[in-house]
Chains A and B, each alone.
Chain A
């Protein structure tokens, strides 16, 4: 919320809606997409976790980030605990500065999200390197950029059901 714009009162968020968004994001993970697209498609679940951690810190905290990370680990067939570790670290970072983050406008938030998503990828890359995988190249750090670019759109979309008036 930035103070140069009129402030808007929003309806309270339902738990059902949060679950639904995560279910949709997980289904995106399971889609049989062409091989090349995984190189640049952002990590939707990671983005959502950041979104809800920034906007609803009471609902999605470090523990939820960890649990959702475990589900992502299973559905993407990566090592158990890899996404869980990355998500719990980034949600912790969000929690440290949540009061500040929520005051930023979308552009500033996108920058923060970029850093956090990069931290996600870096954590996972470090874990996999430590456990003996080969490095996959700098292209691995492209999805966070796409994610940050999508951030304003995602925010607008997720706010739609909670406006009192219709657009």
Chain B
């Protein structure tokens, strides 16, 4: 079975070989221009606006299905959940009361020491539109962009911890590079020991690199953002150490971690506002969008 193809009698256009050569050269130029020099960002912005309504339209049936699923929920499960929430609220309120007093105490102490306090402002709630299907990059697209005043470099969290960082802002959408992406770095501090280190994504997971083999770190340690990079506010949970190998010949320990946040599964994320208070640097400031430039300041701190 085949379609009725009229054979090509006259030679039309370029020969396949030259067509291929043309296409390959163009795509190689595009690839290099995009990856090395970022020349295609404007084009990508424009095209993303065109694609946005399609994305929304495609998302709609999924959202509707989820909504209907929520509507037909049994009363028993609702009641059960209600009771659970009530008991949790009681427990939380007790903790909250303690926390507020502690917070006041800390504020006073910090005021005494003349330290700046990082104020926590509300962020922008973003819905994950889709995860990019490109398996080489760990990125998600959220439905807030320039319209909500987002900028590249802002940290993105979910209800459990750090998810990633905004790397590209388009008029209506923004691209979030997850912490597990290759070359994505987060300055962290070990909550148990207070030791600072750098958490690297390696494409699918996170690990702590360049930590001396004798460093005090053990499975179960919680790593939170250190906040000394001027980008992430301090104390956001990032990862938990799962395994520590100390190979005999190597000078660095191999520390594997598990991210705390549902990095690839959360549906809603919160984009935190930029940190307002940062003391001026003694040296010319590096670009705020790239935490990897901050490595030297990290070592000083």
Task: Please list the residues of chain A having a beta carbon within 8 angstroms of any beta carbon in chain B.
Answer: 1, 5, 7-10, 12-13, 26-27, 29-32, 35, 38-39, 55-58, 61-63, 65-66, 69-70, 74-82, 84-85, 88-89, 92, 95-96, 102, 127-128, 131-134, 136, 140, 159, 162
Contact = CB atoms under 8 A, between A and B. Distances in A.
Given A58-B5, A84-B30, A89-B20, A31 B44 contact: no
B51 A74 contact: yes
Contacts of B141: 77
Interface of B: 1-6, 8, 16-17, 19-20, 23-24, 26-36, 40, 43-44, 47-48, 51, 54-55, 58-59, 62, 128-137, 139, 141, 175, 182, 202-204, 264-265
Among A57, A61, A79, A136, the most chain B Cβ lie within 10 Å of the Cβ of A79
B31 A127 contact: yes
Among B58, B134, B137, B139, the most chain A Cβ lie within 10 Å of the Cβ of B134
Contact of B1 (A10, A56, A82): A10
Given A32-B128, A55-B2, A82 B182 contact: no
A128 B182 CA distance: 12
Given A35-B265, A38-B131, 20 more contacts: A5-B1, A10-B2, A12-B4, A27-B58, A30-B58, A30-B130, A31-B130, A57-B5, A66-B26, A74-B44, A77-B133, A77-B134, A79-B31, A81-B26, A84-B26, A84-B27, A92-B20, A133-B182, A134-B202, A140-B135
Contacts of B202: 134
Contacts of A35: 131, 264-265
Nearest to B1: A8
A75 B44 CA distance: 10
Given A85-B31, A95-B16, A76 B134 contact: yes
14 contacts: A30-B58, A31-B58, A31-B62, A32-B58, A35-B264, A58-B5, A62-B19, A77-B133, A77-B141, A78-B133, A82-B31, A85-B27, A131-B35, A132-B35
Contacts, number: 149
Contact of A136 (B6, B19, B135): B135
Closest CB pairs A-B (n = 7): A81-B30, A77-B132, A88-B23, A81-B27, A78-B134, A134-B203, A85-B27
Among A58, A81, A131, the most chain B Cβ lie within 10 Å of the Cβ of A81
Nearest to A7: B1
Given A66-B23, A88-B27, A1 B1 contact: yes
B41 to A, nearest CB: 10
B168 to A, nearest CB: 9
A38 B133 contact: yes
A55 B3 contact: yes
A7 B253 CA distance: 68
A157 B64 CA distance: 28
A132 B40 CA distance: 18
